[in-house]
Chains A and B, each alone.
Chain A
Amino acid sequence: MVSDLRALAKYVEPGIRLALPVDYAGVSMAMTRPIIERNTRNLDLVCVPTGGLQVDQLVGAGLVRSVETSAVSLGEAGGAPRFNAAVKDGAIALKDATCPAIHAGLMAAQKGSPFMPMRGLIGSDLLHHRSDWRVINNPLADGGDPIVLIPAIKPDITIFHAPMADRFGNVWIGRRRELAAMAYASATTLVTVERIVDDSLLANEMSAAGVLPALYVTEVAVAPKGAWPYGLWGEYPTDTAEILRYARAARSAEGFADYMTNAQMEPA
């Protein structure tokens, strides 16, 4: 299993744009360690639409050049300590966004369009600091009506965790449609799953609607409890005590390094 995850991690080259899902959607925490082992630096992270533990650990390990996100936090466990420290030190470039802008950028990529127009944002400092976002007047109005254009977000790689795939590479994502949006937009999609089933998930109409077809999936590997300490919808709850343990340890760079070296990397 570990060798499978290491094989997946080989796709992660220095300087790639890597999309990662929100903490409740299915984070492939099992892939964090194999990526850090490779020490591939200058990653540009895209959080869809926010980030948490995985982002904090990749930043703490020094692998990250920039983070595009609507937020980074450890939820109930508070702020993301290594991310916050990197922000304060100026060690990472920030592309602060708002959730629907991330979705809009992925949607543009999904459609093969250069951008997606979006309401809101005008007058915010988010817009002020995003030189890649543009404001135009709505060309379909009689004049005026400024609107923001969000350029397509085209990640090199998307990585997420899901309950199951079939042996044909189709992945069950249920109602977590942002996982599909990420895969549609990305050149490569790597998925870890709790289990692989024999029957095609597309053969049954009830399951087919919740499936990301193999067409968009580059590799699948089995990683039981692969979202831990995050929970996985329909499978197991979040291990809040472990996230709190991390939050305490990672307050200092030394504590973070110690946690990453010594803490167990899978559930007890």
Chain B
Amino acid sequence: MMSEVHPREILICTVAKLLDGVRHVAVGASSPIPAAGAMLLRALKQQAGEKGPRISILGSVEHNFFTNGSAELFDCAGQGRIDAFFLGGGQIDGRGNVNLVGTGDYPQTPVRWPGSFGSAYLYYVVPRVILFREEHTPRTLVEKVDFISAPGVSDDGVYRSGGPIALLTSKALFRFDKTRPGFDLQSVHPGHDLAGIKDATGFQFTHESQPEQTALPDPQTLALLRGRVYDEVAETYPDFAAQMRREIERPLSHAS
């Protein structure tokens, strides 16, 4: 018997769906859920006899194909060789702008975050950027960011081969509509509802009157995730894989 689906497993499976069709996905050094989603997609593809995506995990030795230093990721992205990437940020606003620098007036920001990293380039040139931020509160999802590390959309005439396609949080999945620009609520994760999501979101978004629930993984996908994929995840993120395995075991141990 399989224990019930963990909320983070729903996120991992959603990431795998958002990545379907990519050839090469790059994942940041401390992003176990996006990495697990990419590894799940690869496992699903390989189970179906296909090749599956190439996964570059920054800072990892075993999942790193680069030999030209830390510039190579950006060169690779600039050439269109990276199809998908994940971006977080201290603030994300309703126009898809991201802030990785800090709150308040720059430069003397009272709260300083690490900085923009590669966002002011990758957000422009990677076709499928998935905004991923587990914390879904009015503090993180704001009407307008205090500092634009990278804009959600660009003016006509500005070179822009990439940008955000979706925003995934612990509560919901949004699609990004760059024509408005703005977010559309795509689905609500189990245990959450539209009213709660409106309260937790600092920006306006469009939605159906009865939004869909985010799909749960089927038993085969879940089994693959809990077997092969967590083994692979553990090579790079041992603490995360161990925590997931502990937490999905808990209901079973209660039952015994």
Do the two chains belong together in a single complex? Answer: yes
Name the residue among B29, B30, B158 with the largest chain A CB count within 10 angstroms: B158
Interface size on A, residues (CB 8 A): 54
Report the separation of the CA atoms of residues A199 and B208 in the bound assembly, to the nearest whole angstrom. 71
User: Is the CB–CB distance between B121 and A99 below 8 Å?
Assistant: yes
* Residues on A with beta carbons closer than 8 Å to the beta carbon of B223: none
A residues near B125, Cβ cutoff 8 Å:
119-120
In the complex, residue of chain A having the shortest beta-carbon distance to the beta carbon of B58: A24
Is B116 a contact partner of A87 (Cβ separation < 8 A)?
no
Across-interface contacts of B29 in A (CB, < 8 A): 75
Considering the complex, give the chain B residue whose CB is closest to the CB of A176. B69
A122-B70 in contact given A79-B112, A96-B116 (Cβ < 8 Å): no
Interface residues in A151-196 (C-beta closer than 8 Å to B)? 175-181
CB distance from B77 to the nearest CB of A (A): 8
B94-113 vs A, CB cutoff 8 Å, 1 = contact: the mask equals: 00000011100011111011
A212 to chain B, nearest CB (A): 12
Beta-carbon contact of B115 and A177 below 8 Å: no
Partner pick for B110 among A83, A88, A179, CB 8 A cutoff: A88
Contacting residues of chain B (49-108) with chain A, CB-CB under 8 angstroms: 59, 61, 66-72, 74-75, 78, 100-102, 106-108
Chain B interface size range: 35 or more
**Is B187 among interface residues, defined by CB-CB distance under 8 A?**
no
> How far apart are A11's CB and chain B's nearest CB, in angstroms?
24
Q: Whose C-beta in chain A lies nearest to the C-beta of B162?
A: A120
Main secondary structure of the interface of A (DSSP, over half): mixed
- Given A22-B70, A49-B70, A98 contacting B118 (CB threshold 8 A): yes
B119 within 8 A of A: yes
Closest A residue to B116 using CB positions = A98
Nearest Cβ distance between residue A54 and chain B, in whole angstroms? 15
Which segment of B132-140, B142-150, B189-197, B241-249 sits at the interface?
B142-150
Dominant secondary structure of chain B at its interface with chain A: loop
- The yes or no answer to A134 lying at the interface (CB within 8 A) is no
Q: Is B219 an interface residue (CB 8 A)?
A: no
User: Could you tell me which residues of chain B, from 112 to 133, have a CB within 8 Å of some CB in chain A?
Assistant: 112-125
A146 vs B114: C-alpha distance in the bound complex, in angstroms? Answer: 28
A70→B115 contact, CB < 8 A: yes
Contacts of B30 in A (CB 8 A): 75-76
Known: A100-B74, A177-B69. A145 touches B157 (CB 8 A): yes
- What's the Cα separation between A70 and B116 when bound, in Å? 6
Partner pick for B115 among A69, A88, A122, CB 8 A cutoff: A69
Residue in A closest to B108 when the chains form the complex, CB atoms? A90
- B149: chain A residues at CB < 8 Å are 98, 124-126
Q: Are B108 and A178 in contact (CB under 8 A)?
A: no
Partner of B148, one of A118, A124, A233: A124
Contacts of A227 in B (CB 8 A): none
Residues on B with C-beta less than 8 A from A49 are 70, 118
7 smallest CB-CB distances across A and B, nearest first, come from A71-B115, A177-B69, A98-B120, A73-B114, A178-B69, A120-B121, A100-B74
List 13 interface pairs A-B (beta carbons < 8 Å), by A numbering.
Answer: A70-B117, A71-B117, A88-B108, A96-B115, A96-B116, A97-B116, A98-B118, A103-B70, A103-B71, A121-B121, A124-B148, A178-B69, A178-B71
Residues of chain A at the chain B interface (Cβ within 8 Å): 22, 24-25, 48-50, 69-73, 75-76, 79-80, 83-84, 87-90, 93-94, 96-101, 103, 107, 118-127, 129, 144-147, 175-181, 233
